[in-house]
Amino acid sequence: MVNLSFEFFPPKTEESEKKLWSSIKHLAPLNPKFVSVTYGSGGSTRNRTHKCVEKIINETNLKPAAHLTCVSSSKMEVDQVIENYHEIGVKHIVALRGDMPNMGTFEPHPEGYSDSVELVKTLHNFGVSEITVATYPEKHPESKSIDDDIEFLKRKINAGANRAITQFVFDAEILFRFRDKIEAAGINIPIIPGIMPTTNFKNVKNMAQKCGATIPNWLEKKYEGLDDDLKARREVAKEVGLDFCKKLISNDYINLHFYTLNQADLTYDICSSLY
């Protein structure tokens, strides 16, 4: 049995809110292990994330994982968010350093946490039972090497993290090599592959360039000439996503995390075809 989880981002408009809740309801029958709600760059969606998580708790049977970043915030501000999450019953937090509002080089807030390790330690001290962190099979853009990234992941685990989700990946072999390195480093927490099924290949390419994710040549060729053919792009996206997931499952991955981009249909089609 595969454990599924889905990631959403908080809505900005009334129309996008309807789309979000339609997506959540569409994916709920797949019985995900948890659903996560992101936190915009610089903590820009703090209030909307909180409201979205609270609504999931109050109006669904899903288990939410609330994202939390420490960028551009003082320790007092972050600690208050942790308290607020506790008050509404959040037991699972995805702890991230976060990106600067202008996407520039990270600079800690003068009165804030210096990095995600400090944030994880604080969450652990607050008694948060589930702490998920990020990890990067192709290394973080600001990191010197994949080995440095793995050492940083170990520090987050020592601080209290008990699960990690990878940056989205399109080549299963990259995940397999990363798993070998993780195991060699003595890391034994669940490392959950991040999967991004989408029909908007141009947008995904732009995102991949910013975070250092590789777009395989074979994948790019599958989308060639399909810019004006949404139906064909959808078929390709389902085929590629389903094949990717089956390859992971056949290689003993029992947890899969989907970056849904608040679009449920494609993710649902892939996941429902796994059984």
Task: Give the span between the Cα atoms of 65 and 85, in whole angstroms.
Answer: 10
The predicted structure's pLDDT at residue 12: 86
| Tokens matching residue 53 | 């998580």
Which tens digit of pLDDT belongs to each residue from 103-141?
566 777 788 898 999 999 999 999 999 999 999 999 988
pLDDT at 134: 96
From 190, 168, 162, 197, select the one nearest 255 (Cα to Cα). Answer: 190
pLDDT the model gives residue 73: 87
What pLDDT was estimated at residue 56?
A: 96
Q: What is the CATH number of domain 3-272?
A: 3.20.20.220
Distance CA 52, CA 17 (A): 9
Q: How far is CA 87 from the centre of its chain?
A: 24
Domain boundaries, given as residue ranges, for the chain? 3-272
Strand-pairing partners, residue 257, are 5, 194
Q: What is the pLDDT of residue 78?
A: 93
Active site residues: 7
What is the pLDDT, as a whole number, of residue 155? Answer: 97
What is residue 131's predicted lDDT score, i.e. its pLDDT? Answer: 98
pTM, two decimals, is 0.94
Do the beta carbons of residue 54 and residue 85 sit within 8 Å?
no
Low-confidence ranges of the chain (pLDDT < 70): 40-45, 100-105
pLDDT at 52: 93
